Amino acid sequence: MDPKGVYPILPTPFDDAGKVDLESMERLIRYQNEVGVNGVNIMGFMGESHKLANAERKDIIQVTMETRRPGLEVWVGIRTMGTMGAIEQAVEAEQLGVDAVFVAPVSIQNDNAINAHYKAIHDAVKIPVALHDLPDMFDSIVMSPELIARMAKDGVSNYIKLEEIPTGPKITKTMALADGKMGIFGGLGAVYFLEELERGAKGIMSGFSFPEVLVEIFRLFAGGDRDGAAAAFDRYASLFRYEFQPAIGLAFRKHAYKKRGIFRSDFIRPPTAVVDHYTIEEFERAVLRAGLSFDPPRLS
């Protein structure tokens, strides 16, 4: 397994009553199949994993596995209060055939406790266990480059979704300490996608609602056309900035999927921030300025 490229963080679709909408989930995976992403990340923080029942998690994984095209990797997000719950979710995901799990740290600011959490999950499954480094959303828990490198060298985890700002210096330091044993992916709405690639990131794991844009940037960069990748990044940078707003970014993404006919509803399970109509219209204008549209995609 050598993951690289674009792995969108997918929102979980609900109907207007707040029930998981598996038909919309199927359309979402078909859309990812069509635009050429390398994998998908389901039930991450943006996927409202902390608001899902265990039975709902299983249904979402099953629909994703049944709908993905051959070769499309499926990664499953895990965030629990303790290690046993994380192991349970990881084991179930593995049994359902997923390719990897990406796991939030336990809420203890202690390197040994964090390492023990990830090692226990690693020992319970055969699939890769990736780190999810997002202090702003995970109780301010910081995983230092030294700790990340330690886990990489010990084989506890060899992949990370790194989202501690500033990402660039942490990527560089982590790569230097890990001796090439840690594969790093960016996130944060793709706001720093170009710079992360330039520093050696393997790709991006972002919830940006037009993943074909990320595929284009990565394709140009990986093909050696760095000027072309930079020009493409700059073309969409303002939209990255606007869509990736704390508290309301998920509303934009669900709105985009609904307007394109992929989701039937833009419902977000509470608690959630309320987004007014003017702000939604502002987002739509940002999409159009970037040269994108809300036309429904063709799905095979």
Q: What is the pLDDT of residues 241-258, one digit of tens each?
A: 999 999 999 999 999 999
**Predicted local confidence at residue 45, as pLDDT:** 86
Strand partners, 77: 102
pLDDT tens, residue by residue, 87-129:
999 999 999 999 999 999 999 999 999 999 999 999 999 999 9
Q: What SS3 class is residue 189?
A: helix
Residue of 81 and 229 predicted with greater confidence: 229
pLDDT of residue 25: 98
- List 14's β-bridge partners, or say none: 20
Average pLDDT along the chain: 97
Contact status, residue 30 vs residue 66, Cβ threshold 8 Å: no
Residue 80 · residue 46 · CB < 8 Å: no
- The superfamily CATH assigns to domain 5-236 is Aldolase class I (3.20.20.70)
Cα–Cα dist 250/240, whole Å = 13
Q: Is the pLDDT of residue 1 over 80?
A: no
**pLDDT tens digits, residue range 173-192?**
999 999 999 999 999 999 99
The strand order across the sheet containing 183-186 reads 5-6, 203-204, 183-186, 159-162, 129-133, 100-103, 73-78, 39-42, 9-10
- The rounded distance, in Å, linking the Cα atoms of 8 and 106 is 24
Please state, in angstroms and rounded to a whole number, the distance separating the CA atoms of residues 17 and 152: 43
Instruction: End-to-end CA distance of the chain: give it in Å, rounded.
Output: 27
pLDDT digits (tens, 9 = 90+) for 6-54: 999 999 999 999 999 999 999 999 999 999 999 999 999 899 998 999 9
| pLDDT at residue 147, rounded to an integer | 98
Taking residues 213-220, what's their average pLDDT?
A: 98
pLDDT in tens, 252-282: 999 999 999 999 999 999 999 889 999 999 9
The one-character DSSP state at 11 is: P
CB atoms under 10 Å from CB of 245, counted, come to 16
Residue 86 has a pLDDT of 97
Percent of the chain with pLDDT over 90: 95
How far apart are alpha carbons 293 and 256 in whole angstroms? 10
User: For position 228, what pLDDT does the model report?
Assistant: 98
Rounded Cα distance between 286 and 300, Å, is: 28
Secondary structure (3-state) at 85: helix
Residue 162 parent element (H or E): strand 159-162
Q: Above 90 in pLDDT, residue 298?
A: no
Q: What is the pTM of this model?
A: 0.96
Query: Six-digit token pair at 152?
Result: 């990489």
CA dihedral angle for residue 144, residue 148, residue 149, residue 151, rounded to 10 degrees: 140
- Continuous H helices in the chain: 22-35, 54-67, 83-95, 111-124, 145-153, 167-178, 193-198, 211-222, 226-243, 249-259, 277-289
Give DSSP secondary structure letters for 48-66: TGGG--HHHHHHHHHHHHH
pLDDT (0 to 100) of residue 83: 97
Q: Which residues contact 285 (CB under 8 A, 6 or more apart)?
A: none
Q: How far apart are CA 198 and CA 171, in angstroms?
A: 10
